[in-house]
Chain A
Amino acid sequence: MKMSHRPWSDLSQDILTLISNRLGLIELIRFRSVCKQWKSSSSTSTAEIESSPGLNPWFLFYGENLSPRSITRTGEKYAIRIPELEGAAVLASSHGWLLVFKNGSIFFLCPFSRSRIDLPSSPFSDLADHVASFSAPPSDPGCAVAVISRIDGRRLVLKLLRRGEEEWTSFEYSYGVSSLDAVKCAAHRGGSFYFFDGQDRLLMFSIKELGPKLCRVVKITDPKERAKCETMPFWCKKESGLKKWLEEDDLPEGASISTCGTYVESETERGSDHVIFHENIEAAEKSDGDQRLKLKGVWIHPRFFQVYKDGRW
């Protein structure tokens, strides 16, 4: 039999999909522009390996008068066009998706594919001390979004939206003045949202029980004592080391940066996952009274989700 040279563009869709499923973000984008067949076969590929356990996220700069730039985990820098992030604030980052607030509306955005899923009317019109998290990718039927904010010195309101719902459900929660500081960061794990204040307090909210629980986070070394307490299912990285990691031209003199963290799965089964906290890195005081440059940033696993069903929630 004659072994003809068969064209690689003619491989079956299934095999091409298996190949494109193995590619990282940049290679997947390139794969999609090789030929028509390769493009259509990779429509469901999401660069899943970019969020493999143990892999660090990328960092994405954005903000007023700043075209977004991303820094890969190996330090390469790319200028990326993401108009959706102009004048926007990222509330949460997880599973390769961002939860974005812009001009009074709230939506999910995959910044690299620029896929967008709009949520029903935003539960708030102005951004204040809001902190948010979501439980799964927005395309997942089990996805739930929670946004928490303070009403006054002793009351919080948590707004919850589960996938498919048109309206947010509110839960109000009163607490002692000294029992919880302003909420700074949020995460989700195993059906519960975790809201951390800047100190050692934690408000847990179970999606199933729809109830909050106030906890204190302490480090216990004595095994006997430890047996009496609940163990945190992940550890918290309050300082990402961002400032050291950034180079001078990333963070100009006098610039401050506020960042949104994300969730990182551990490489080994026994090791535990960690949450990179939101951070505020203040600039050193400038003596000449110049207005300080305020930058924003977010940690994100670089995935490439495509949404076909007209981006409905």
Chain B
Amino acid sequence: MSSSSTTTTTTRLLMLKASDGVTFEVEEAVATKLGAINNMVEEEGSEDLICLPNVNGKFLGMVLEWCKKHANNNTNSDKGNDEVNKWWDKEFVMDLDQNTLYHLLMAADYLSGTELVDLLTEKVASMIRGKKVEEIRETFKIKSDFLPGQEEEIRKKNSWAFE
């Protein structure tokens, strides 16, 4: 047997508690990819249980899943990692239904997961591209709240873009 010690770096585990009481045990290195958790860890130091009253377990789970994938992919210093991450991100956002996308975006924003917010806002942007205003409103279930005449005014300014 070789005498070399196995290099298992001991990583600290954090316990994250969602608004509905669901808890997640996560490696510190993964959880601190989220700016908000990183701040809490740095400020509060020893605290191992972190309560997140603004995130539901379902979405916290999804955010952490994304963090884990990215943390794992980044440990290999392969050049192909970017490609792997991109491919995985694509899969991640592909089948999100609108309600999930909405709540996930709120969760990622609350947890300051900047990269994930970028990914999700790009997904929303892609749902806007190529659509007419009425189609955008329909897609996102939005009712126009402009005063009568206001919308016409806006459209008139750039009528060419509404053709």
- Measured CB to CB, the residues of A under 8 A from B are 1, 3, 5-9, 11-12, 14-15, 18-19, 22-27, 29-39, 70, 78-81, 112, 114
- List the A side residues contacting B144 at CB < 8 Å: 34-35
Residues of chain B contacted by A29 (CB below 8 angstroms): 158, 161-162
Contacts A34-B133, A36-B146 supplied; 20 other A-B pairs, CB < 8 Å:
A5-B141, A6-B99, A6-B106, A8-B141, A8-B142, A9-B142, A11-B106, A15-B106, A15-B121, A18-B121, A22-B125, A25-B161, A30-B162, A31-B128, A32-B154, A33-B154, A34-B142, A35-B146, A36-B145, A78-B161
Chain A residues, Cβ within 8 Å of B87: none
Known: A18-B117, A33-B154. A78 touches B129 (CB 8 A): no
Question: Quick one: closest A residue to B129, CB to CB?
Answer: A27
Cβ-defined contact, B56 with A1, below 8 A: yes
Q: For B154, list chain A residues within 8 Å (CB).
A: 32-33, 39
Q: Name the residue on A nearest B110 (C-beta).
A: A12
Across-interface contacts of A79 in B (CB, < 8 A) = 160
Which B residues are in CB contact (< 8 Å) with A39?
A: 154
User: Which B residues touch A5, using CB under 8 A?
Assistant: 99, 141
Which residues of chain A are near B161, meaning CB under 8 Å? Answer: 25-26, 29-30, 78
Given A29-B158, A33-B151, A35-B145, CB of A1 within 8 Å of CB of B125: no
Bound-state CA distance A7–B20 (Å) is 22
Q: Which of B104-155 contact A (CB under 8 A)?
A: 105-106, 109, 117-118, 121-122, 124-125, 128-133, 136-137, 140-146, 151, 154-155
Which of the residues A8, A22, A35, A80 comes within 8 Å of B121, measured between beta carbons?
Answer: A22
Binding site for A on B (CB under 8 A): 19-20, 56, 99, 102-103, 105-106, 109, 117-118, 121-122, 124-125, 128-133, 136-137, 140-146, 151, 154-155, 157-163
Are the C-beta atoms of A7 and B131 separated by less than 8 Å? no
Q: Indicate which residue in B99, B109, B145, B158 contacts A3 across the interface (CB closer than 8 Å).
A: B99
A33 and B102 contacting across the interface, CB-CB below 8 Å:
no
CA distance A22 to B19 in the complex (A): 31
Of A9, A79, A80, the most chain B CB neighbours within 10 A belong to: A9
Chain B residue, CB-CB nearest to A79: B160
Contact B133 A8 (CB under 8 A): no
**Which residue of chain B is the closest to A18 with respect to CB atoms?**
B121
- The distance in angstroms between the C-alpha atoms of A32 and B142, with both chains bound, is 13
Given contacts A11-B105, A14-B109, A33-B133, contact A22 B145 (CB under 8 A): no
Task: Please report the C-alpha to C-alpha distance between residue A18 and residue B118 in the assembled complex, in whole angstroms.
Answer: 8
Cβ–Cβ < 8 Å partners of B103 in chain A = 3, 6
Interchain residue pairs A-B with the least CB separation, the first 7: A8-B140, A22-B125, A29-B161, A78-B160, A18-B121, A33-B154, A9-B142
CA–CA, A8 and B125, complex, Å: 13
CA distance A14 to B108 in the complex (A): 13
Q: Is the CB of B133 within 8 A of A30?
A: yes
Instruction: Output the nearest chain A residue to B162 by Cβ-Cβ distance.
Output: A30
Partner of B19, one of A1, A34, A114: A1
Contact check, A30 vs B121: say whether CB atoms are below 8 A apart.
Answer: no
| A306 nearest CB across to chain B (Å) | 12
Task: Give the distance to chain B from A249, nearest Cβ to Cβ, in Å.
Answer: 17
Whose C-beta in chain B lies nearest to the C-beta of A29? B161
How far is it, in angstroms, between the C-alpha of A6 and the C-alpha of B122 when the chains are bound? 19
Give the distance to chain B from A66, nearest Cβ to Cβ, in Å.
15
9 interchain pairs, CB-CB under 8 A: A14-B109, A15-B109, A18-B121, A19-B125, A25-B161, A27-B129, A32-B154, A35-B137, A78-B163
Interchain CB contact (< 8 A) of A33 among B122, B125, B155 = B155
